[in-house]
Amino acid sequence: MKVAKFGGSSVASAEQIKKVAAIVSEDSERKIVVVSAPGKRDSSDTKVTDLLIHLGETHLEAGDTEEALEAVVERYASIAEGLGLGQGIIATIEADLRERLSFDRSRPGSFMDLIKASGEDNNAKLIAAYLQSVGLPARYVNPKDAGLLVSDEPGNAQVLPEAYDHLKKLRNTDEIIVFPGFFGYSKEGTLVTFPRGGSDITGSILAAGVEADLYENFTDVDSVFAANPNVVSEPVKIKKMTYREMRELSYAGFSVFHDEALIPAFRKGIPVCVKNTNNPSSSGTMIIAEREYFLNPVIGIAADEGFSTIYVRKYLMNREVGFGRRLLQIIEDEGLSYEHIPSGIDDTSVILRQCQLTPEIEERIVERIRVELGADDVYIEKDFAMIMIVGEGMHNTVGVSARMTAALARANVNIEMINQGSSEVSLVIGIHEKDTDRAVRELYAEFFGAAVEVVQ
């Protein structure tokens, strides 16, 4: 059995959904199809999810929702018309949206989850109807009926362990199940959405639940690339990579997956294949537990921007028991999460996402560190980028760090921070944002320029 997930660009229009139907029909093992809400048809278009967010926010502000509602319905109507479906499915979708708008607004987070999730839910109904219309034995299944139980955290749902036992029953079907991504239900019956990349998470959970032989993730690229193609011209296609490599690259800004999306499949040892809806004959990228490392220790280079550093200096800091704990307690008291803590004997830095900081929070943190920890110096610097060099083969290879620093020196890029994980799967460097693209291009040339033919 295969679980096939189709992203927003793969289901954005009638033409794309016809491609989905052809892909599903050509392989009888594709029994579970997970779908996103319709994405952009072109660069100037608007995603259905964004239309729904506007609809929900307008309703919460007690504004007139008819125009916003009509924009959503018209989008589905254009898809249905292109697929040759009757008005019945559009009437069903409009009635569903109006019913959702009538729900309790006293918990805005839960209300917005309900509205946003309609994108995937109604698209699943529409796609199931189309598959039936072309003679395929398909049926729509709602996550609540399937038993996809999650924690009651609006916008940040976590799957509950018992959900896997419920979902395993789907394995016994002879039909093609069309399942909406992005959301599940709490034990109390409340709809709750996953974090960003939620449909990928749904697909991974279903693959684990039914113990699929393969989880296929269909998107709009032929494979995962060794670097961002918007930065590096025609980067190498990665044919095979490990779960750990994919997670590290996803965390560092690779847009193929949310960095948590593959965890359910990883825990069950289910291989994942990234494929292109527009070119399904391409072999794609296989994500597996282990791979051969060949000659190049590096599999990919990723960059993410928007970081700040809290720099703290205190003489004899290394002798002071509990200094690090008290520093992190101040960070925790402000409700902040951190990414890295590179340290010296008399200084340390806490690197975190810049979006968490406000001027008020910054002022409080600096004052508390100065007063409570007796720091000799403390200040916050902004606009850093983290570049991650990833590869399972790095831990067996001498000289990766030397090659990296030499490449950055050639590009005239100063390293502000360097950190290697204990697993040695990744090497992280901090630089100023203005140098990001130049650094990525030089690092790519260093690790892939002369060895493209041997990267797998």
Q: Two tokens at 254? A: 């690779």
Q: Is 51 found in the same domain as 191? A: yes
Q: Is the pLDDT of residue 255 over 80?
A: no
Binning pLDDT at 50, 70 and 90, where does residue 347 land?
very high
Q: Rounded to the nearest 5 degrees, what angle is found at the Cα of 5, between the Cα atoms of 94 and 282? A: 130
Q: Is 313 found in the same domain as 166? A: no
- pTM metric for this prediction: 0.84
Q: Is the pLDDT of residue 456 over 70?
A: no
- 120 assigned to a ligand binding site: yes
Q: How far apart are CA 260 and CA 198, in angstroms?
A: 9
Report the relative pairing of strands 272-276 and 214-219 from DSSP bridges: parallel
225 in any annotated domain: no
Q: Is 206 found in the same domain as 306? A: no
* Residue at token pair 């002022």: 363
Q: Is 216 found in the same domain as 324? A: no
Among 220, 254, 274, residue at a domain's last position: 220
> What is the CATH number for 19?
3.40.1160.10
Q: How far is CA 411 from the centre of its chain?
A: 30
38 in any annotated domain: yes
Q: Is 7 found in the same domain as 141? A: yes
25 in any annotated domain: yes
pLDDT at 246: 85
- 147 assigned to a ligand binding site: no
Q: Is 353 found in the same domain as 204? A: no
- 285 assigned to a ligand binding site: no
Q: How far apart are CA 101 and CA 93, in angstroms?
A: 13
Look at residue 35 and give its three-state secondary structure: strand
Question: pLDDT digit string (tens) for 300-332?
Answer: 999 989 999 999 999 999 899 999 999 999 999
pLDDT at 252: 67
**DSSP state, residue 391:** -
Q: Is 120 found in the same domain as 6? A: yes
Among 173, 200, 220, residue at a domain's last position: 220
Close Cβ partners of 311 (under 8 Å, ≥ 6 residues apart): 347, 349, 377, 378, 379, 380, 381
293 in any annotated domain: no
- 219 assigned to a ligand binding site: yes
200 in any annotated domain: yes
Number of domains in the chain: 2
Q: Is the pLDDT of residue 225 over 50?
A: yes
281 in any annotated domain: no
21 in any annotated domain: yes
pLDDT at 453: 36
Q: Is the pLDDT of residue 175 over 60?
A: yes
Q: Which domain holds residue 438?
A: 300-454
Q: How far apart are CA 41 and CA 34, in angstroms?
A: 19
Number of Cβ within a 10 Å radius of residue 162: 11
Q: Across residues 126-147, what is the average pLDDT?
A: 97
Q: Is 305 found in the same domain as 213? A: no
Close Cβ partners of 96 (under 8 Å, ≥ 6 residues apart): 118, 121, 122
Q: How far apart are CA 356 and CA 308, in angstroms?
A: 10
- 198 assigned to a ligand binding site: no
Q: How far apart are CA 98 and CA 333, in angstroms?
A: 42
23 in any annotated domain: yes
> What is the CATH number for 396?
3.30.2130.10
Which DSSP string corresponds to 341-372?
--B-SSEEEEEEEGGG--HHHHHHHHHHHHHH
- 6 assigned to a ligand binding site: yes
Q: Is 116 found in the same domain as 11? A: yes
Q: How far apart are CA 396 and CA 402, in angstroms?
A: 14
Q: Is 407 found in the same domain as 306? A: yes
Among 197, 220, 243, residue at a domain's last position: 220
Residues in the chain: 456
Q: Is 214 found in the same domain as 75? A: yes
Q: Is 307 found in the same domain as 203? A: no
pLDDT: which is higher, 218 or 261: 218
Q: How far apart are CA 79 and CA 38, in angstroms?
A: 9
Binning pLDDT at 50, 70 and 90, where does residue 206 land?
very high
Q: Across residues 30-37, what is the average pLDDT?
A: 96
Q: How far apart are CA 309 and CA 307, in angstroms?
A: 7
Q: Across residues 108-122, what is the average pLDDT?
A: 95
